[in-house]
Amino acid sequence: MTPSIAIVHVHNADWRGHGFKLWVPLFLFWIPVILLSPLILLVVFAVSIARRIDPIYALRVFWDITCSLPGTDVRVTADGNKVLVRIL
């Protein structure tokens, strides 16, 4: 399953305890990817041939990484600032 939504929550201590949440619809990013897919495939094949890697294997690894993104939860805290990124 490909990721569909990312939630970015930014909390800054200077904002009196308030932060904001941003819902990013990731499925909208697939539109330019589909339009640029011939160019992306050419680049993947050229790089994999130059690095002596099987191009099908390279595409498979890319697809596996993309499909494993849902459920990712990244939390960063520094100097009272917090950023949370969740991919659903």
Tokens linked to 3: 């990721």
Using the Cα atoms of residue 50, residue 53, residue 55 and residue 61 in order, give the sign of their dihedral.
Answer: negative
Torsion of Cα atoms, 43 then 60 then 69 then 22, to 10°:
30
**pLDDT exceeds 90 at position 3:** no
**pLDDT exceeds 70 at position 54:** yes
Write the pLDDT tens digit of every residue in 25-49.
Answer: 988 888 998 999 999 999 999 999 9
Are the C-beta atoms of 4 and 27 separated by less than 8 Å? yes
Write the pLDDT tens digit of every residue in 11-29.
Answer: 887 776 678 899 999 888 8
Q: What is the pTM of this model?
A: 0.71
